[in-house]
């Protein structure tokens, strides 16, 4: 593909889609702030924080970073490595639980 062809073929998206995503990001950020404002606690707090976080991250990646319009060859190269991070998180959750257990155990029982 030569250079001149490439430029003519670049398409842009309507401004509406960007403004919609922009607005949604503001609303979602406001909701996450409200989670703290109303001092939700426990499972409700954590699930709300995670839902708003993933929605915001998804909107930014899909539309602002154009992943929604990219070919799967690029999208999959970027998203599959995230599973390694998920594995790492599970490993470290097991690790911190064990560390906390041994700390508390030896604080109270002694060496």
Partner 1 sequence: MSDPKIEGYEFKPGFSGMAADTASDQTMFKGVHWGKAMMWIFLLSDTFIFSCFLISYMKGRGSTPVEWPNPSEVFGLHVFGVDVPLLLIAIMTFVLITSSGTMALAVKYGYEKNRKMCGWLILATAIGGLTFVGMQAFEWSKLIHEGVRPWENPFGAPQFGSFFFMITGFHGTHVSIGVIFLFIYAYKTFAGHYDEQKRGWFTSIRGDYVEIEILGLYWHFVDLVWVFIFAFFYLW
Cβ distance to partner 1 smaller for residue 81 or 109? 81
Distance in Å, CB of 109 to partner 1, minimum: 14
CB of 110 to partner 1, least distance (A): 15
Query: ∠ at Cα 54 (52, 58), nearest 5°?
Result: 120
Report the SS3 class of residue 76: helix
Q: Determine, following the binding rule CB under 8 A, whether residue 53 of this chain makes contact with partner 1.
A: yes
Q: In the range 1-40, which residues lie near partner 1 by CB under 8 A? A: 1, 3, 5-7, 9-13, 15, 18-19, 21-22, 25-26, 29, 32-33, 35-37, 39
Which whole-number Å values give the CA distances from 77 to 29, 73, 89, 106, in the listed order? 29, 6, 20, 45
Please give the structure tokens belonging to residue 88.
Answer: 């790492």
Distances (CA, A) of 56 to 20, 23, 47, 63: 13, 11, 14, 11
- The Cα–Cα gap between 26 and 20 comes to 10
Binding site for partner 1 (CB under 8 A): 1, 3, 5-7, 9-13, 15, 18-19, 21-22, 25-26, 29, 32-33, 35-37, 39, 45-46, 49-50, 52-53, 56-57, 60-61, 63-66, 69-74, 76-78, 81-82, 85, 88-89, 92-93, 95-97, 99-100, 103-104, 107
């Amino acid at each position: 593909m030569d250079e001149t062809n490439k430029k003519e073929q670049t398409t842009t998206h309507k401004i509406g889609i960007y403004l919609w995503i922009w607005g949604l990001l503001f609303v979602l950020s406001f909701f996450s702030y409200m989670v703290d404002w109303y001092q939700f606690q426990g499972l409700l707090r954590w699930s709300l924080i995670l839902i708003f976080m993933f929605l915001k991250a998804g909107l930014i990646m899909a539309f602002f970073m154009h992943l929604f319009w990219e070919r799967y060859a690029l999208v999959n190269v970027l998203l599959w490595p995230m599973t390694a991070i998920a594995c790492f998180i599970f490993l470290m959750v097991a690790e911190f639980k064990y560390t906390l257990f041994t700390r508390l155990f030896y604080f109270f029982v002694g060496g």
